[in-house]
Structure formats: structure tokens, C-alpha cells
Structure 1
Amino acid sequence: MSPTGALPASGRLHARAKEAGALSATPMSGAGPLQPLDVVVTRGDLVESTHRVHAAVVDADGALLDAVRDPAMVVWWRSCAKPFQVMPLLRSGGLDALDWGVDELALACASHGGEPEHVAVAARMLQSLGLEEGDLACGPHEPLASRGARLLREAGQRPSRLHNNCSGKHSAMLARARQLGIPTTGYEQVAHRVQQDCRRAVAEWTGVAGEALGVGVDGCGVSVFALPLANMALSYARLARAAGQGDDASRRVVSAMTGQPFLVGGTDRFDTLVMEAGGGNVICKIGAEGVHTFAIVDRGIGFALKVEDGSPRAQFPAVLALLDAYDALPRPLPDPLADFLRRPVRNTRGEQVGLIAVA
């Protein structure tokens, strides 16, 4: 089963969705109950900072259900693309040939926290390929989860490439190269077959022609794609619907992410907490620079948002506000997820002096 209903894309990428093969920028009549999603930071009773948020809500047929500011805004998708970058390996049987299961698939889709459990899965993936940490093109960085960073310090160790939040994605890309019988060296380069396969998969699911996708280099060194927010939301809506209609690859991606949310994020990581609270009915994926894409699975509705200035402190309350507007999460929100909705601003003495929340 392949996603259908894509609108044709032009050969040029511009900052408006109409010129990049995007959906209509006008929400349907009777659209959802969205309000402006700007996030404000207060100190005392004064607004100290404001973060502008853009968002699109799209169904699996490509209808723009709702929008905030500019749903046609073209931005880098960053790590939100991971569930689709693994599709070539999954659909071709490469994952099963390696006897990889839900843990490996979840980590391939993850921006994980670099905790011991994440590192162990990534190491196991490489070992099954006869490869090692040095074969990963991503660089080392401090674990994103505070628990991971603490455990690393206590062990007296330095971060490795396995701690990189994208080590699972990279391991899956190496597996794709091995499956194809082509060199793994340079697998991160845009011209390499592995990256070209990822580009085709992103084009298929988002409805933006491959030649119209913006292509750059992501923080981990592989290809990153630029496209309109509405098309990002479309891909997640399609993924959710395809999973519900029995498409095996889609079902396995959704099941792995929602069934193993800790591997997708980690201890107290936002996506993990959202998917736990969603009870398997919300698939959620963070991207850098204030980008987030997510879906309500049983309704086949996809969402994408971008915090204009890239601030992560603003994207989490905005994501929760969108999900709340569509009744996708329990009320009240469970702790510690509720802390992301209205986050206190504290001084160095730990006193609350303000708040971060949707305006």
C-alpha cells in the first residue's frame, strides 16, 4: 500500500506551499477549534518574550483541516522524517533478514536520549552488521536525557557516536547499504543510493516531488529535507491511516514507536511522555529548531508545527495545545507531561518568577 492523493509538485522550492507541491493553504470550512498558538514567556505580570508558531492540521486525503499562521511555510523537517527514512529497509525485507525487531525499528525512528538502553540497542544493530561505532557517520554528543548524561559522568566515560540521538537511524542506513551490496563508506552523502532511497520515500509520503524537496545536511550528517508544513502533516496522517488499513510497514512503524516510546525518546523526554499518555493512539516525533510532526492514529489526522525562532521551550506547549484541541490526550495531563504545558520560569534560588505557556 502506498500513500495516494498527492498534489503535483513544481520543480522549484519557494517559501510558499503552492509553489512546492503543497496542499491548499486555506482551511476547510468547519475546520477544527484552533486558536493562535503563540507561546509567551512571562516574568511577573509582564510578557517578556513571545514565540510565533505556525501549524497545519491535515487528514489522510490531503484536506487542510485547520491552520495557524502559515501552513504553507517551507522549513527543514529534521528528525521528524525518520519514520519514512527507514521505510526502504523495512519494505524491502531488510529489517527481517537481520532478525531485527521492534526495538531496532523504534530506535531507527528515534531521537533517543543516549541512555544505556539506547546505546545497547544501537551497539547490537552494528554488531549484527559486522560493523562498529566508527562506521557511524554521526558524531558523538552528550546524551540528551539528563539520566543518560548523569550515568555517563558517573561511569567516568565520554560520549561516543552510539550516544548520538540519531545512532539508530544511522545503523539502519548502514543496514540498507549492506542489503543493497554497496559500499557503506559515504552512506551519508547525498548522492549515495541510501540517501536517494530516503529522498524517494519522503517524496512518496509527503506528496512533494523528489526534485522539489529542498535538500541539505542534517545535524547528524545525512540528508535533511525542506518542505511545507502541510505536507509534513499529510505524511503522518497517511502513515496513521495506512497502519489502520493493514499496511504492514506502516503498522510496524506505528506499533514500534507507540509500543516502545522509551526507545524513541527516553526518561522524561517529551515524545515518550506524549505517546505514553496517548495510550498508543498518538505517534509523535520531535525535530530540531522547533519542528514537530505527530498524528492521532485512529482518526488519521496529521499535525505539523514550527516555532518560528526555533525555540524548543515553545514547541512543547504548542504541541500539547494542538493535541488538546483535538481531544487526543487525557485531561488533566499526567505528570510530568503537564509540566511541559505550563513550565515555570525560575531564578537561581529556585523561586518561580514567571511562566512559559501558550498565550
Structure 2
Amino acid sequence: MNYEILVSDYRNGILENIHPGHICGVDEFGSVKYQVGNPDHLTFLRSALKPIQAIPAIANGIQEHFKLTNRETALIAASHRGEEFHVDELEKLLDKVGIQEEELLCHPTYPLNPRSKDKLAKNNQPNRRLYHNCSGKHLGMIALAKILGVSTEGYFKPDHPVQQEILSALSSVSGCKVEHIHSGVDGCGVPVYALPLRYIANTYLRFARPELIEDRFIRRAVFQITSMMNENPDIISGTDTICTSLLMDGNIVAKGGAQGVYCFGLDEEKMGFSLKVIDGSEEQWPIIVASILEQINYKNKDTIQRLYQLTEKDIYNDNNKLVGNKEASFKLNGITSGTL
């Protein structure tokens, strides 16, 4: 596996938990500039794939075709938390595209945001497909099928034109040939793809620097998606989340996925990063990303501070007593080879 410890948890100075994983950072030429562990570690993008899954819909004019606002359109790249402002925009998107909620493959559920979930439960409100954090993505896929003039039935199947468009876009942006991309089924039922971390990092480099993308239609779509993500960070995720905190910084485009995968690109620095926490935890992301930014001397200290506010280094018990601490345990290893 060749993984390294990314975060260590201490209680009264005694090591209690470790969170191993891999980190890869690439430069504008697609060369691996930083690595922790194995930059060729194969991992599924999970929801970090969503901005890529949005490319064909944007490139085929979903916004113009259905007269969508930027906030409505941003939802197709989002892992929303089902807060009231998310649901308001989702219902507008549902209506404008002309989709029945039952057409969505994603299973009815309650929102991921605890306050929203508790409010619905308190009022005995039923769960909905629209509350699923992938519902915006599914709406975008069905909308794309309508634009392409193909059946919306089975839009989630690997051989459906919508999914083939997405796979082609992923290959184009990542630089990884289609035949080398591994596939699986995501939690919400649509195809999801696995790539080596270096290609995932390269994907997010190109989201931060769309001018590096050769295909002009994909390049223009990526520019639009990135702009909407930065303009509407709360739509992409929700209140007090790492994606929202990072996207508030106009120099960063970022997105996470289930089971510990996180990715971000830096515009001015012309760099892309991807990481995988092997135990699948997400709680460690803010500490890891903050440490990466500190180690490369990232200039926006406010962004780093926001990350530490999400996951504090200090550990408190139920009585609010300080009992331990968390700390990043890795050092970025700079290398000068490893072109894609």
C-alpha cells in the first residue's frame, strides 16, 4: 500500500488513533511535484466526480436551454446538505427542467444537515428523493438526456449516452485514457470511476486552470462550472463544511467524495492536489488540507484559519474538558519527476 500516516490523535500525550493515506500534488505540466505515500494509488472519485459529471450538461447548454440561474445550475455539481435554501433551488430546477421527482434514481432520504433533518422529523415530514445529496447531479443527467434527444429511462446505466458523455469528459480533463479508467457503481446508483491519484490531481489542476484543457467546448464548460462553484459555495455543500470554506476563496476549486477522497486546485499556484484517507473518514480533511496549504506557504491565511475552525486540533470530552489533540503527521515530499 505504501501509505503514510496523515493525522494522529493523542489523548494525554498517548497516541490513540492514526489516519493513514496518500497525497498527490501536480504542477501545471502534469508532473508530480509533491507526494505522501503513493501518487499512483487507485481510488474512486465518488462525489468528487460531480463537477466532471456536470461538464456535458454545461457544454450542451443546460443553463440556456432551461433558462437556469447560476445557483440552480451549480446544484448539478453539488453534494448539497438538504438545507432549506438547497431545497428551494432544487424545486425550481425540477420545475424548469420538467422532471417528476419520481424519475430520480436516488433513494428517498432525509437531509444530511442535522438541523434540517431534525426539523423535518419534528414536523413528521416524509423523506424525499430531492433531499438526497446527489439529487442535483441526477437532475443534471436527466436534463442532459432531454437536450441530447435521447430517452431519460436508464439514464444511470453505463451504456446510456449521458454516462458515455461523462466518461469521455473525465478522460479529456484528467488525461487518463478511457481504457485505463476503472468503473464501479456509486452510492446513489450511477457509474463512478477510479483513477490513480495523480490523474485526479491533474483533473482539479485543470478545473483551477481551464486554459490547460485542449478541447475548447470542455474548457469553456469547466470555466463556467468553476465560476459557479466559487460564486455559490454554500450551494455546492452547505453550512460549516470544508467545500464551502474552500470555495469561498476564489483562488481554489475543491470537492470531496465519500470514503475519504478530497481534491482541490489552486489557480495562481498552478497546482492540483488529491488525497485519500484510507480509513474512509472525512473528519480529517480540514486538518490535512490546512497542513498542505501551510507547507506550500499558501498566502491566504484566512482560508487556512477557516479550515481549523471546522476541525479543531484540540480534543474535548463530553464535559468540555481538554483531553487531547490532533495533528497532521505528514511532510510533503517534493520530487521533480513523474510526468503523466
- Fold agreement, TM-score > 0.5: yes
Q: Which residue of 1 aligns with 2:253?
A: 283
Q: Does 1:310 align with 2:280?
A: yes
Q: Does 1:259 align with 2:231?
A: yes
Give unpaired runs (5+ residues) of structure 2: 330-340
Whether the aligned pair in 2 keeps the contact of 1:241 and 1:299 (CA below 8 Å) is: no
SS of 1:272 mapped into structure 2: helix
Q: Does 1:355 align with 2:313?
A: no
Structure 1 residues 104-143: aligned runs within 5 Å:
104-143=72-111
Q: Percent identity?
A: 33
Distance 1:340 1:94, change over 3 A: closer
Distance 1:244 1:256, change over 3 A: farther
SS of 2:301 mapped into structure 1: coil
In structure 2, C-alpha distance between the alignment counterparts of 1:73 and 1:115, rounded to whole Å? 35
SS of 1:298 mapped into structure 2: coil
State the shift of 1:136 in Å.
0.8
> What residue identity is the alignment partner of 1:142?
Y
Q: Does 1:43 align with 2:11?
A: yes
State the shift of 1:37 in Å.
6.0
> What residue identity is the alignment partner of 2:221?
A
Q: Deviations over 1:247-302 (max 9, x none)?
A: 432221111001100001111111101222x2x11111011100001011233211
Distance 1:249 1:243, change over 3 A: farther
Structure 1 residues 1-359: aligned runs within 5 Å:
38-242=6-210, 247-276=219-248, 278=249, 280-328=250-298, 330-331=300-301, 337-359=307-329
In structure 2, C-alpha distance between the alignment counterparts of 1:337 and 1:154, rounded to whole Å? 32
In structure 1, C-alpha distance between the alignment counterparts of 2:5 and 2:263, rounded to whole Å? 15
Whether the aligned pair in 2 keeps the contact of 1:38 and 1:358 (CA below 8 Å) is: yes
Q: Which residue of 1 aligns with 2:336?
A: none
SS of 2:323 mapped into structure 1: strand
Give unpaired runs (5+ residues) of structure 1: 1-14, 17-35
Distance 1:180 1:199, change over 3 A: same
TM-score normalized with structure 1 length: 0.84
State the shift of 1:59 in Å.
2.0
Whether the aligned pair in 1 keeps the contact of 2:81 and 2:111 (CA below 8 Å) is: yes
Whether the aligned pair in 1 keeps the contact of 2:9 and 2:16 (CA below 8 Å) is: yes
In structure 2, C-alpha distance between the alignment counterparts of 1:66 and 1:334, rounded to whole Å? 19
In structure 2, C-alpha distance between the alignment counterparts of 1:217 and 1:93, rounded to whole Å? 27
Whether the aligned pair in 1 keeps the contact of 2:204 and 2:264 (CA below 8 Å) is: yes
Q: Deviations over 1:23-69 (max 9, x none)?
A: xxxxxxxxxxxxx7610111111010111120111123211111111
Give the alignment's Cα RMSD to 1 decimal.
2.2
In structure 1, C-alpha distance between the alignment counterparts of 2:286 and 2:279, rounded to whole Å? 14
SS of 2:8 mapped into structure 1: strand
Whether the aligned pair in 1 keeps the contact of 2:82 and 2:131 (CA below 8 Å) is: yes
In structure 2, C-alpha distance between the alignment counterparts of 1:338 and 1:316, rounded to whole Å? 6
SS of 2:205 mapped into structure 1: helix
State the shift of 1:352 in Å.
2.9
SS of 2:327 mapped into structure 1: strand
SS of 1:125 mapped into structure 2: helix
Distance 1:66 1:335, change over 3 A: closer
